[in-house]
């Protein structure tokens, strides 16, 4: 079997076209949603991610602003900036780019953002609502993964989904979203003995370990849908996933590439969350 390659680029393009229509409708009502991105320090990778987010906003007709601060910024100062954004009626979404310098508590920062402006979906209120299956701002990568599966009409209900990775930003939430879609979910992590025993039983395999080439053809069930979340840089500077693409493509039914798979959907879901937050705060949802 040769897998159908799930193009995140294509699905993101279709989503952005729909989001632009939503943004235009809001504009006709005098509302232009605004995303504020806060960056502390000058990590080039973070800056490159932020540029993608700002470009995405412009593409669908959202406003965005970047607030940049030096790595020496104190935690109290950052919390004050967030409080100002919380109170600013013009701002619909607040995103603090992670990672932060070690002297700043990421958890404190996340918990200071107003939950209804928390477009990254990391605030405990949004996580709690998601766990309870309630309406929430849901973190972007997990949401993007579900939308990729749906875009290809890949059945989730009744299927066995195996998630490799249990981080708060990818593994845990994507498992919960799959559960909400009525999959039977197994979580694997670095302490799982004989990982392959589990991954080989997956109808849907989500790999978010951040380990280049962790999953090969022998670890995948024939005909599975494989979503590779991993982004790893090789010594020669290439970006590769956690899945050995060339091998697995001969066994899976669906496979996402890296780059061009999950990545473009992550930013697109951020744009969707910003529109959702803007609508919700104005009682338009």
- Is 10 an active-site residue? no
Residue by residue, DSSP assigns the chain as --PEE--HHHHHHHHHHHHHHHHHHHHHTT---EEEEEEES--HHHHHHHHHHHHHHHHHT-EEEEEEE-TT--HHHHHHHHHHHHH-TT--EEEEPSPPPTTS-HHHHHHHS-GGGBTT--SHHHHHHHHTT-S-PPPHHHHHHHHHHHHTT---TT-EEEEE---TTTHHHHHHHHHHTT-EEEEE-TT-SSHHHHHTT-SEEEE-S--TT-B-GGGS-TT-EEEE---EE-TTS-EE-SB-HHHHTTT-SEE--SSSSHHHHHHHHHHHHHHHHHHHHTT--
Task: Select 210 or 216, whichever has its Cβ closest to ligand NDP.
Answer: 210
Nearer to ligand NDP, 33 or 175 (CB): 175
Q: Does residue 165 belong to the site contacting ligand NDP (CB under 6 A)?
A: yes
Binding mask 11-50 for ligand NDP (x = CB under 6 A): ----------------------------------------
Site string for ligand NDP, 125-164 (x = CB under 6 A): ----------------x----------------------x
Q: Are 167 and 210 in contact (CB under 8 A)?
A: no
Q: Which of 170, 177, 220, 224 binds ligand NDP (CB under 6 A)?
A: 170
CA angle, corner 271, sides to 182 and 280, nearest 5?
75
Q: Scan residues 67-106 and list those touching ligand NDP (CB under 6 A).
A: none
Quote the least distance from Cβ 80 to ligand NDP, whole Å. 28
Q: Quick check: 243 binds ligand NDP (CB under 6 A)?
A: no
Binding span for ligand NDP by CB under 6 A among 12-20, 37-45, 80-88, 169-177: 169-177
Nearer to ligand NDP, 61 or 165 (CB): 165
In the complex, least distance from residue 221 CB atom to ligand NDP, rounded to whole angstroms:
17
Catalytic residue (one of 97, 118, 221, 279): 97
- Which of 92, 118, 120, 203 is flagged as catalytic? 120
Is 120 tagged catalytic? yes
Q: Is 153 a catalytic residue?
A: no
- CB nearer to ligand NDP: pick between 92 and 219: 219
d(CA 6, CA 13): 13
Which of 210, 213, 216, 260 binds ligand NDP (CB under 6 A)? It is 210
Residues within the interface to ligand NDP (CB under 6 A): 141, 164-167, 169-171, 188-192, 195, 208-211, 214, 229-232, 262-263, 266
Any idea which residues carry the catalytic annotation?
Answer: 53, 97, 120
């Amino acid at each position: 079997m040769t897998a159908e390659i799930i193009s995140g680029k294509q699905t993101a393009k279709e989503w952005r076209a729909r989001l632009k229509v939503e943004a235009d409708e809001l504009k006709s009502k005098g509302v232009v949603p605004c995303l504020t991105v806060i960056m502390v320090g000058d990590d080039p990778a973070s800056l490159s991610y932020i540029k993608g987010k700002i470009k995405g906003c412009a593409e669908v007709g959202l406003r965005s602003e970047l607030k940049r601060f030096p790595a020496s910024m104190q935690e109290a100062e950052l919390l004050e900036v967030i409080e100002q954004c919380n109170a600013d009626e013009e701002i619909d979404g607040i995103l603090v780019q992670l990672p932060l310098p070690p002297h700043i508590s990421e958890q404190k920062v996340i918990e200071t953002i107003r939950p209804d402006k928390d477009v990254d979906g990391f605030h405990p209120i949004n996580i709690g609502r998601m766990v309870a299956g309630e309406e929430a701002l849901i973190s972007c990568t997990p949401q993007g993964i579900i939308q990729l599966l749906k875009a290809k009409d890949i059945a989730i209900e009744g299927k066995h989904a195996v998630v490799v990775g249990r981080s708060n930003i990818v593994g845990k939430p994507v498992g919960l979203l799959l559960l909400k879609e009525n999959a039977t979910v197994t979580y694997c992590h670095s302490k799982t003995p004989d990982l392959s025993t589990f991954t080989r039983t997956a109808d849907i395999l989500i790999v978010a370990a951040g380990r280049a080439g962790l999953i090969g053809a022998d670890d995948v069930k024939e005909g599975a849908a494989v979503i590779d979340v991993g982004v790893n840089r090789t010594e020669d500077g290439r970006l590769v996933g956690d899945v050995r693409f060339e091998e697995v493509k001969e066994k899976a039914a669906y496979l996402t590439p890296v780059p061009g798979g999950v990545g473009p959907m992550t930013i697109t879901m951020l744009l969707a969350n910003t529109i959702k937050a803007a609508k919700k705060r104005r009682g338009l949802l």
